[in-house]
């Protein structure tokens, strides 16, 4: 039987920067999510219109951890 992953990675587009480590971003299908940069991750600037590799838990598609700017 095929195992279902608990996390997925996708690319989002930042729509609105809320703080240096949080933003609202759009998934490829247009859904807006809450994006955040983990305190453990190396910081990178968030800018409106920027594309970011994001990891999401499959049980909660309302938020995603931003991994790196593209």
Per-residue confidence (pLDDT) for residue 4, from 0 to 100: 82
Q: What distance in Å separates the CA atoms of residue 22 and residue 60, rounded to the nearest whole number? A: 17
Per residue in 11-51, pLDDT (tens digit) is 999 999 999 999 999 999 999 999 999 888 888 999 999 99
Per-residue confidence (pLDDT) for residue 20, from 0 to 100: 93
Q: Tell me whether residue 33 is in a domain.
A: yes
Number of domains in the chain: 1
Q: Tell me whether residue 57 is in a domain.
A: no
**For residue 31, what are the domain limits?**
12-38+62-70
Does the structure show a pLDDT above 90 at 68? yes
Structure tokens that stand for 17 in this block: 């920067």
Q: Tell me whether residue 44 is in a domain.
A: no
Per-residue confidence (pLDDT) for residue 42, from 0 to 100: 82
* Beta strand spans in the chain (E): 7-19, 22-26, 32-36, 51-57, 63-69
β-partners of residue 57 are 7
Per-residue confidence (pLDDT) for residue 41, from 0 to 100: 80
Q: What distance in Å separates the CA atoms of residue 1 and residue 58, rounded to the nearest whole number? A: 19
């Amino acid at each position: 039987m095929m195992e279902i992953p608990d996390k997925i990675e996708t690319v989002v587009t930042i729509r609105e920067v809320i703080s240096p480590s949080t933003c609202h971003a759009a998934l490829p299908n247009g859904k807006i999510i809450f994006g955040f940069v983990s305190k453990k991750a190396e910081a990178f600037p968030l800018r409106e219109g920027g594309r970011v590799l994001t990891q999401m838990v499959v049980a909660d598609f309302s938020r995603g951890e931003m991994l790196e700017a593209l």
